[in-house]
Amino acid sequence: MNAVLECRDLAVAFGGVRAVDGLSFDVHEGEVLSVIGPNGAGKTSAFNCITGFYKPTSGSVSFRGADITGGRPANIAAAGIARTFQNLRLFGDLTVLDNVRAGMHVRLRQNAFDAILRTPRYRRSEQVATDESHRWLDFVGVRSDRTTQVRNLPYGEQRRVEIARALAREPQMLLLDEPAAGLNHGEKEELLALLRRISDLGTAVVLIEHDMGLVMEVSQRIVVISYGKAIAEGTPAQIRTDPAVIEAYLGAEDAEARSEAEQIAAEQAEELRAHENRARSSAQEEGR
Amino acid sequence: MTDPSLPRDPAGTQLPPEESSAYVRAVETKQPANVAPAGTGLTPAAKGHGPTSASRVVSSPWFAVAIVVLAIALPFIDSGAYTLRIATDALIFVMLAVGLNVVVGYCGLLDLGYAAFFAIGAYTAGLLSTTFGWPIIATIPAVVVMAVVGGLVIGAPTLRLRSDYLAIVTLGFGEIIRITANNLDITGGPNGLFGIPDFGDFGYRSDVTIYWFTAVVVSLAVIASSRLGRGRLGRAWRFVREDEDAAEAMGIHTYKVKFAAYVTGAIFGGLAGVLFAVHQTAISPPSFNFLWSALILMAVVLGGMGSTPGVVVGALVISLLPELLRGAENWRYLVFGVLLIVVMIFRPQGIWPHTPSEPASAARREPDPQPEVTA
Ligand SMILES: Nc1ncnc2c1ncn2[C@@H]1O[C@H](COP(=O)(O)OP(=O)(O)O)[C@@H](O)[C@H]1O
Ligand SMILES: [Mg+2]
């Protein structure tokens, strides 16, 4: 397996908090890799280090063989890494189509003079931008009016628009930060199908997600992060039984965090069991 | 009579028409445009408000053509010296406003010293044409270069910083340019420059020629700024204004994009300065004080940030209203101020705010086949 992305001993700290603390992992070409871990484990910070929003204090990130450590976010994005944000970061006042056109910005071939003079090149390029935006919105399944301001859309649709915008970048690797957060059951099912379609495009997907059902269903591999370090890595089946993972979810030190962690762990264990049961029964149905 | 389309209960009595849920009703009555009904994914959200006939008229290209024709025809309607002077002033002010609109309206950068570029343009044109005897037209490339240099000097260090720093630095820059002009010998010190030539002899009265030249340049500037706002760069400006991080994450180099906005604004300001120098024939430092920067910014905010027609209207209001209020004598600036405050209270988004929209060609006519969902 070729690695598209290699993170080696990444570290970043805020004051005394070592958000990422010697994190190493690889993303293989075309795979869906999930990154899980308790709240505050440093998952989002790791994404921010990879995409250039945080400058890692040590360690390295290389993407398709090129060192991108500490690069400017725009350059990293232009190199082929697209991302979404944990808290939606759409251009709220702009239309749905314009939001998706943002993803195409680096690929459009027109300059300011083309725009002022309305040259054929400008018209062609605008037409491409519109057509492709529609294509990506179709791909993610946005059904709302695409000519209105994006903030008028329901939350679930906005989540999809954000993914469409990232896909319009046509990235080799897509980082999704908790895309299922706030979605209802039906929307999660649609997200699962969407993640599969994205994976079918050949795009490597890195998924930060708390919904264990979704994670177990869609990932080829899982990396578990705790206190800024990768504590386990493997297939969903391996992670399910890894003692270090159970420990991480239960081993929070202060009592408050502990009870919260336990609750999450209990919920996730429950989901895992339910998921396993489902997987077993569907395997039986298929007669394997 | 019973309506057969209404459902019946088993006993055959007619039921009242089905009530929509309280949620849907609330959405419909309260915020029709803001909240799309959840769960009705298959139908596109109803358009909040179709274009009214008035807005269709004003957004048609012919409306713009009519305005330009009207502007150019003005000297045939009234060629009085006073009318032409006021009209030329107003057009120059329009140019300043659409230029600043690129910076503030499109890109969201607060520039409090925009008059600096106006001064750079006026002084460059004035100096080269008087002291060095260049024809005014020949000074234009030099003005563009000087405006870009000014934009580079101020923009390069400050555009990397948070936008509040830009406001402070540009405020200082505006004053520095004015004070410099006040203290250099070559710029004529406090007396400034005078005897600035016009565009040449075209067989008409000089003020008519200047007015026409101004009308053409300003019309082109308005069209250019409006079109710039719609293309790839214009979108990038709006992305940066909305959310810099998200723009970066899409590969948009936000520093370069802000720079482009700042320098574009500088060029517009510089060219407006040339028109101003020719129109006034004499320029001196007080013409470029902070009040100018503040008034231009006010035109942008009053008209509607990011909206070209709005900003044009805002500029016309700011420049013409004090003239129309001349009857009020000494009270006119008080009345002017009160009117502005009233407008901003009742229309905080501006007289003619920008409404994000798509050309009709961008909307899909038929719904697309839904991607299959494995449930
Ligand atoms: N910009 C920041 N400033 C200060 N602290 C931060 C910042 N970003 C993250 N942190 C801290 O780093 C830790 C990890 O946060 P985060 O990466 O968001 O975790 P996760 O995404 O796994 O929930 C938390 O303690 C958080 O408070
Ligand atoms: Mg997070």
Instruction: Report the distance separating Cα A243 and Cα B191, nearest Å.
Output: 84
Distance of CA B148 to the CA centre of its chain: 20
The pLDDT-based confidence of B7 (bands split at 50, 70, 90) is: very low
**Residue B228 to residue A51, Cβ atoms within 8 A:** no
**Residue A23 CA to ligand 2 centre (angstroms):** 15
pLDDT over 70 percentage in chain B = 81
Q: Is the pLDDT of residue B22 over 50?
A: no
**Residue A276 CA to ligand 2 centre (angstroms):** 26
Mean pLDDT over each residue of chain B, to the nearest integer: 82
Q: Is the dihedral of CA B266, B296, B221, B272 positive or negative?
A: negative
Task: Nearest by CB to B34, from A98, A122, A152: name it.
Answer: A152
A152, A89 Cβ separation under 8 angstroms? no
A135, A147 Cβ separation under 8 angstroms? no
Residue nearest to atom 9 of ligand 1 (CA): A45
Q: According to the model, what pLDDT value does residue A276 have?
A: 61
B98, B253 Cβ separation under 8 angstroms? no
- The tens digit of pLDDT for each residue in B130-158 reads 999 999 999 999 999 999 999 999 899 88
Pairing of strands A3-14, A17-28: antiparallel
Q: Is the dihedral of CA A148, A152, A154, A160 positive or negative?
A: positive
Instruction: Report the distance separating Cα B172 and Cα A206, nearest Å.
Output: 47
pLDDT over 90 percentage in chain A = 82
- The tens digit of pLDDT for each residue in B97-141 reads 999 999 999 999 999 999 999 999 999 999 999 999 999 999 999
Q: In Å, how far is A81's CA from the nearest CA of chain B?
A: 8
Q: According to the model, what pLDDT value does residue A131 have?
A: 94
Task: Nearest by CB to A74, from B46, B238, B254: name it.
Answer: B254
Q: Is the pLDDT of residue B69 over 90?
A: no
B146, B187 Cβ separation under 8 angstroms? no
Task: Nearest by CB to A116, from B33, B227, B367: name it.
Answer: B227
Q: DSSP assignment of B262-315, as one string?
A: HHHHHHHHHHHHHHHHHHHSEE-GGGGSHHHHHHHHHHHHHH-TT-HHHHHHHH
Beta strand spans in B62-191 (E): none
Residues 6+ apart with CB under 8 A from B239: A91, A94, A102, A105, B246, B247, B250, B252, B257
Beta bridge partners of B283: B193
Residue nearest to atom 25 of ligand 1 (CA): A40
Instruction: Report the distance separating Cα A195 and Cα B84, nearest Å.
Output: 65
**Residue B146 CA to ligand 2 centre (angstroms):** 48
Task: Nearest by CB to B245, from A89, A111, A148: name it.
Answer: A89
Instruction: Report the distance separating Cα A26 and Cα A9, nearest Å.
Output: 11
**Residue A105 CA to ligand 2 centre (angstroms):** 27
A104 lines ligand 1 (CB under 6 A): no
pLDDT over 70 percentage in chain A = 87
Q: Which tokens belong to B258?
A: 């802000």
Q: Is the pLDDT of residue B48 over 50?
A: no
Q: According to the model, what pLDDT value does residue B300 have?
A: 95
Q: In Å, how far is A2's CA from the nearest CA of chain B?
A: 25
A100, B247 Cβ separation under 8 angstroms? no
* B361 CB neighbour count, 10 Å cutoff: 8
Residue nearest to atom 27 of ligand 1 (CA): A40
Residue nearest to atom 7 of ligand 1 (CA): A14
Pocket residue to mutate for ligand 1, from A45, A177, A209, most atoms within 8 A of Cβ? A45
Instruction: Report the distance separating Cα B192 and Cα B123, nearest Å.
Output: 9
The pLDDT-based confidence of B356 (bands split at 50, 70, 90) is: confident
Pairing of strands A66-67, A229-234: unpaired
Instruction: Report the distance separating Cα A262 and Cα A257, nearest Å.
Output: 8
**Residue A28 CA to ligand 1 centre (angstroms):** 26
Q: Is the pLDDT of residue B311 over 90?
A: yes
CATH class, B63-353 region: mainly alpha
Q: DSSP assignment of chain A, as one string?
A: --EEEEEEEEEEEETTEEEEEEEEEEEETT-EEEEE-STTSSHHHHHHHHTTSS--SEEEEEETTEE-TT--HHHHHHHTEEE--SS----TTSBHHHHHHHHHGGG----HHHHHHT-HHHHHHHHHHHHHHHHHHHHHT--S-TTSBGGGS-HHHHHHHHHHHHHHT--SEEEEESTTTT--HHHHHHHHHHHHHHHHTT-EEEEE-S-HHHHHHH-SEEEEEETTEEEEEE-HHHHHT-HHHHHHHH--SSHHHHHHHHHHHHHHHHHHHHHHHHHHHHHHHTT-
Q: According to the model, what pLDDT value does residue A78 have?
A: 95
Contacts by A154-157, CB closer than 8 A, 24 or more apart? A154/B35, A154/B36, A154/B38, A155/A182, A156/A182, A156/A183, A156/A184, A156/A187, A156/B38, A157/B36, A157/B41
Q: In Å, how far is B47's CA from the nearest CA of chain A?
A: 8
| A169: chain B residues, CB-CB within 8 Å | 250-251
Ligand number nearest CA of A13 is 1
Ligand number nearest CA of A181 is 2
What crossing angle do the helices spanning B254-280 and B136-158 adopt, rounded to 10°?
A: 150
Residues 6+ apart with CB under 8 A from B344: B301, B302
Mean pLDDT of A122-150: 95
A39 lines ligand 1 (CB under 6 A): yes
What SS3 class is residue B52?
coil
Sorted by where each starts, the structural domains of chain A and their CATH numbers stand as: 3-80+171-287 (3.40.50.300), 90-168 (no CATH)
**Residue A177 CA to ligand 2 centre (angstroms):** 7
Instruction: Report the distance separating Cα B193 and Cα B187, nearest Å.
Output: 6
Q: Which tokens belong to A223?
A: 């990396």
Q: According to the model, what pLDDT value does residue A52 have?
A: 96
Q: Residue B193: in which H helix or E strand, if any?
A: strand B193-194
Mean pLDDT of B341-346: 86
**For residue A146, which of B52, B364, B33 has the smallest C-alpha distance?**
B364
- The tens digit of pLDDT for each residue in A257-286 reads 555 655 666 677 666 666 666 655 655 555
Instruction: Report the distance separating Cα A219 and Cα A85, nearest Å.
Output: 20
**Residue A160 CA to ligand 1 centre (angstroms):** 25
The pLDDT-based confidence of B37 (bands split at 50, 70, 90) is: very low
Instruction: Report the distance separating Cα B193 and Cα B190, nearest Å.
Output: 9
* A266 CB neighbour count, 10 Å cutoff: 12
**Residue B364 to residue A190, Cβ atoms within 8 A:** no
Find the Cα–Cα–Cα–Cα dihedral A119, A125, A130, A133, rounded to 10°.
-160
* B128 φ, ψ (degrees, to nearest 5): -65, -35
A142 lines ligand 1 (CB under 6 A): no
Selected residue with higher pLDDT from B332 and B100: B100
CB pairs under 8 A between A and B: 176
Residues 6+ apart with CB under 8 A from A32: A195, A199, A204, A205, A207, A218, A219, A220
Pocket residue to mutate for ligand 1, from A12, A14, A47, most atoms within 8 A of Cβ? A14
- The tens digit of pLDDT for each residue in B163-178 reads 788 899 999 999 999 9
Q: Indicate the residue type of B132.
A: F
Query: Strand order of the sheet with strand A173-177?
Result: A81-83, A173-177, A204-208, A32-36, A221-226, A229-234
- The tens digit of pLDDT for each residue in A185-206 reads 999 999 999 999 999 999 999 9
A52 lines ligand 1 (CB under 6 A): no
Residues 6+ apart with CB under 8 A from B209: B198, B199, B200, B202
Residue nearest to atom 11 of ligand 1 (CA): A19
B266, B113 Cβ separation under 8 angstroms? no
Q: Residue B222: in which H helix or E strand, if any?
A: helix B206-228
**Which residues are placed with Cβ below 5 angstroms of ligand 2, an ion?**
A 44, 86
Task: Report angle CA B319, B325, B326 to the nearest 5 degrees.
Answer: 100
Sequence spans of domains, chain B: 63-353
A45 lines ligand 1 (CB under 6 A): yes
Asked whether this complex has an ipTM greater than 0.95, the answer is: no
Task: Nearest by CB to A83, from B38, B45, B249: name it.
Answer: B249
**Residue B36 to residue A157, Cβ atoms within 8 A:** yes
B289, B115 Cβ separation under 8 angstroms? yes
Instruction: Report the distance separating Cα A235 and Cα A33, nearest Å.
Output: 9
Mean pLDDT of A204-212: 95
Mean pLDDT of A48-54: 97
Buried (b) or exposed (e) across B116-137, using 16+ Cβ within 10 A? bbbbbbbbbbbbbbbeeebebe
Residue nearest to atom 8 of ligand 1 (CA): A45
* B303 φ, ψ (degrees, to nearest 5): -70, -40
Instruction: Report the distance separating Cα A36 and Cα B136, nearest Å.
Output: 67
**Residue B250 to residue A106, Cβ atoms within 8 A:** yes
